[in-house]
Amino acid sequence: MRGDTIQDWTASEVRLPLSAERQVEYRVYRDGNRHFQEIREPDGAPIHTLELPAGMKLDKSSYEVLLRYVLLDIVAA
């Protein structure tokens, strides 16, 4: 595992357009001065890693919002 864990792996069900839902897991960690949100499938397959802006401190609900936007962007691509 890389970096210092800020939030350990958390299961989440993300509602997408047209009432679709996607099961994912995510964690937030710090690597040096950089912060990341790593998203994966429940089976461990990677989906995306998002670098958070420097110094960004969020609560769990904010990480869930970021998670939804990342997944919406991936679905739209």
* Number of independent structural domains in the chain: 1
Domain that holds residue 20: 4-76
Model confidence pLDDT, tens digit, residues 36-49: 999 999 999 999 99
pTM here is: 0.78
pLDDT of residue 55: 58
Least confident residue range of 8-12, 29-33, 46-50, 57-61: 57-61
14 C-beta neighbours (distance < 10 Å), count: 19
**pLDDT at residue 9 tops 90:** yes
* Terminal CA-CA length for the chain: 29
Cβ atoms of 22 and 11 closer than 8 Å: no
